[in-house]
A and B are shown apart, each in its own frame.
Chain A
């Protein structure tokens, strides 16, 4: 039980580190690490609950999100020649402060469900507020960073948080659903990467604040 809590705390910490990181490439590396921690958590859940199918999910998480997607993102970054800095819209120290507030907020929202009467009986339930915090942090990252690549990573971090929340409340989803969601995330990452190429080709930058032409 402590193992899961520890992993969830690491998971949250890496998400906060990702917000603090000023370089695009280290952001990708942190995302990869984030996914690997998620994969290890899945494996731990599988071992503790004797649920064999979760091992498949754990292996897929590490292979796809820990290796393949980060590799693809690095490829896009090198091909486009993205500048190394992340160009935050909200300065890094302020971002960190907001992350702290978001974490506190998610504990405030979810703790009653975790500790209250027996709604959740999972051994992983303590990680629910942390995974909610990761979802918030990923969302914040999408808003507070200019580059297309950093928005993609924000979305992917949100999705990692979501998987962690699924382990927290119900040991993940039925296998067929989980596989389908994997497929969707992979496709979304590929399509967003291709669109980042097109944004770069059309506007000669991946700064998404330039996307302001359509309005009423």
Chain B
């Protein structure tokens, strides 16, 4: 069954290749996203009720199912949005027909590589898949024929490839650390073999430490942890907006998933959880600080959203770094909340970009009168992203804070709270500048009435999750948290 989940997006890319007709391309693309989503839900149901699925090279436990759910969900909404977004670009002549087809083709190839990250049992294959996400999305980042797009794509490829090379070295060292006990067997890199308590206890400690540092720097480049984040604002601002949403909401989580798998191995080994947690905490706080500074200074709203993603990855890293059950649960919950909110905000940014034709914050004025529906949704999204109650982001950020205080890390708690306050003020100020004032002389109104219809459920979901957590989600979060607390589920 898991093979099927991998096959859907892969077959779609081949199906799309000979397509010429715009409607047919869009129909197949959306249909494929729907089937991917349905298959993910079915598998999630299986994992939820019958426990981990282990099919040799393919493996799904609660944690990977959660990541897959995010991929399929954001993939579906981003695909629906891109029908309108990329369709408009075709209509106004920014791109040609073959580019529209290529967009959907690479979109599904990108989804395929991300799903491969989620379903692989072997940490080596996870590496291959994460490098694959870079390669598949490079085309989407450099989608437009602009000089800045080429620059962003080049930087993206070079920086992420170098980073990920270090992660491969880390993976090799993990393999070497297991040779003593597993004797270089071909499944020596597989998660289910490594998590056996007797294996964990016998992994070589010296090699494992170096391995984790390399993996944290390597995959951390992809997560956008400071100071390896420099590709991220460029790529997010240059990519077509639906792709920015996908990069920000799920790609970063996929890379974080790679780090978490290593974090779990290190925590279970003789080193103990202290070492990797402290490193996660350090990089998390550094990312928070860097992002806060750049959000204050930002001039381009898509770059501002990109820095906000760095900030939220920092928050998630802090949550896992703190290590209290409540903080870990908060960090996991925050992955979902950030994905929903950031997708909503990037869709809003896409509407603004196609109406105002600029990415400069100072040139966008009077959003409320020009595009009332988008304006309201963007205000709601902005309040959610800075963690205002009653939104779910508030709950998850408070969970992390409470976990930190319970652990007695008062310095961390103070830094975390202070930096969140800076982002709160800066981001709302920037959005306020765009929303109010007099709209410039241009065409008014929404670009398409379908776009707000697509965005409302996202905002509603973040609102509802803030007030009421469904049983399914709560149990899933508890299952994952227990994985981090040392219990195998």
Q: Which residues of B contact A166 (CB under 8 A)?
A: 172, 175
Least CB separation from A177: chain B residue: B124
Interface residue A176 (Cβ < 8 Å from any Cβ of B): yes
B148 contacts A188, C-beta separation under 8 Å: no
Interface residue A181 (Cβ < 8 Å from any Cβ of B): yes
Secondary structure type dominating chain A contacts: helix
Smallest CB–CB gap between A131 and chain B, Å? 9
A213 contacts B148, C-beta separation under 8 Å: yes
Interface residue A93 (Cβ < 8 Å from any Cβ of B): no
Cα A169 to Cα B211 in complex, Å, equals 12
B189 contacts A214, C-beta separation under 8 Å: no
Q: Which residues of B contact A176 (CB under 8 A)?
A: 57, 122, 124-125, 186
Q: Which residues of B contact A159 (CB under 8 A)?
A: 165
Secondary structure type dominating chain B contacts: helix
Segment touching B, from A10-18, A56-64, A192-200: A192-200
Within 8 Å by CB of A195, from B145, B147, B153, B172, lies: B153
Q: Which residues of B contact A151 (CB under 8 A)?
A: 158
A195 contacts B154, C-beta separation under 8 Å: yes
Cα A51 to Cα B148 in complex, Å, equals 48
Within 8 Å by CB of A188, from B155, B157, B179, B233, lies: B157
Cα A142 to Cα B161 in complex, Å, equals 12
Interface residue B234 (Cβ < 8 Å from any Cβ of A): yes
B148 contacts A162, C-beta separation under 8 Å: no
B158 contacts A214, C-beta separation under 8 Å: no
Least CB separation from A143: chain B residue: B162
Interface residue A170 (Cβ < 8 Å from any Cβ of B): yes
Interface residue A113 (Cβ < 8 Å from any Cβ of B): yes
Within 8 Å by CB of A175, from B169, B180, B186, B206, lies: B186
Smallest CB–CB gap between B110 and chain A, Å? 13
Cα A192 to Cα B148 in complex, Å, equals 16
Least CB separation from A178: chain B residue: B124
Q: Which residues of A contact B57 (CB under 8 A)?
A: 176
Number of residues on chain B facing chain A (CB within 8 A): 52
Interface residue B168 (Cβ < 8 Å from any Cβ of A): yes
Interface residue A153 (Cβ < 8 Å from any Cβ of B): no
Cα A155 to Cα B297 in complex, Å, equals 33
Least CB separation from A180: chain B residue: B128
B124 contacts A216, C-beta separation under 8 Å: no
Interface size class, chain A: 35 or more
Cα A171 to Cα B172 in complex, Å, equals 10
Q: Which residues of B contact A198 (CB under 8 A)?
A: 142, 150
A195 contacts B189, C-beta separation under 8 Å: no
Least CB separation from B157: chain A residue: A192
Within 8 Å by CB of B299, from A158, A169, A181, A216, lies: A216
- From 36 to 69 in chain A, residues with beta carbon under 8 angstroms from any chain B beta carbon are none
- From 286 to 311 in chain B, residues with beta carbon under 8 angstroms from any chain A beta carbon are 294, 297-299, 303
Known interface pairs A113-B207, A180-B125, A188-B161; A174-B186 also in contact (CB < 8 Å): yes
B303 contacts A216, C-beta separation under 8 Å: yes
B207 contacts A195, C-beta separation under 8 Å: no
Q: 1/0 per residue B131-164: CB within 8 Å of A? A: 1100100110010010110111111011001100
Interface residue B237 (Cβ < 8 Å from any Cβ of A): yes
Q: Which residues of A contact B188 (CB under 8 A)?
A: 174
Q: 1/0 per residue A111-153: CB within 8 Å of B? A: 0010010011100000000000001000100100000100100
Smallest CB–CB gap between B437 and chain A, Å? 23
Q: Which residues of A contact B237 (CB under 8 A)?
A: 214
Cα A179 to Cα B180 in complex, Å, equals 24
B128 contacts A158, C-beta separation under 8 Å: no
Interface residue A106 (Cβ < 8 Å from any Cβ of B): no
Interface residue A208 (Cβ < 8 Å from any Cβ of B): yes
Cα A135 to Cα B168 in complex, Å, equals 12
Least CB separation from B158: chain A residue: A151
Cα A184 to Cα B161 in complex, Å, equals 10
B168 contacts A211, C-beta separation under 8 Å: no
Smallest CB–CB gap between A32 and chain B, Å? 20
Q: Which residues of A contact B217 (CB under 8 A)?
A: none
A173 contacts B298, C-beta separation under 8 Å: no
Q: Which residues of A contact B189 (CB under 8 A)?
A: 173-174, 177
Interface residue A203 (Cβ < 8 Å from any Cβ of B): yes
Interface residue B127 (Cβ < 8 Å from any Cβ of A): yes
B135 contacts A187, C-beta separation under 8 Å: yes
Known interface pairs A171-B184, A211-B155; A162-B172 also in contact (CB < 8 Å): yes
Q: Which residues of A contact B161 (CB under 8 A)?
A: 155, 188
Cα A188 to Cα B294 in complex, Å, equals 31
Within 8 Å by CB of B127, from A181, A195, A213, lies: A181
Residue picked from B128, B132, B169, B176, most chain A C-beta under 10 Å? B176
Interface residue A3 (Cβ < 8 Å from any Cβ of B): no
B128 contacts A181, C-beta separation under 8 Å: yes
Q: Which residues of A contact B145 (CB under 8 A)?
A: 202
Cα A191 to Cα B207 in complex, Å, equals 33
Interface residue B32 (Cβ < 8 Å from any Cβ of A): no
Cα A151 to Cα B162 in complex, Å, equals 11
Interface residue B204 (Cβ < 8 Å from any Cβ of A): yes
Smallest CB–CB gap between B255 and chain A, Å? 15
B128 contacts A199, C-beta separation under 8 Å: no
Interface residue A75 (Cβ < 8 Å from any Cβ of B): no
B184 contacts A184, C-beta separation under 8 Å: no
Interface residue B173 (Cβ < 8 Å from any Cβ of A): yes
Interface residue A165 (Cβ < 8 Å from any Cβ of B): yes
A142 contacts B128, C-beta separation under 8 Å: no
Q: 1/0 per residue B229-257: CB within 8 Å of A? A: 00001100110000000000000000000
Q: List 13 A-B contacts (CB under 8 A).
A: A113-B207, A119-B206, A162-B168, A162-B169, A173-B124, A174-B175, A180-B128, A181-B168, A188-B157, A198-B142, A202-B147, A203-B147, A214-B148
Q: Which 7 A-B pairs have the closest CB atoms?
A: A177-B124, A180-B128, A169-B176, A170-B176, A211-B151, A174-B186, A214-B234
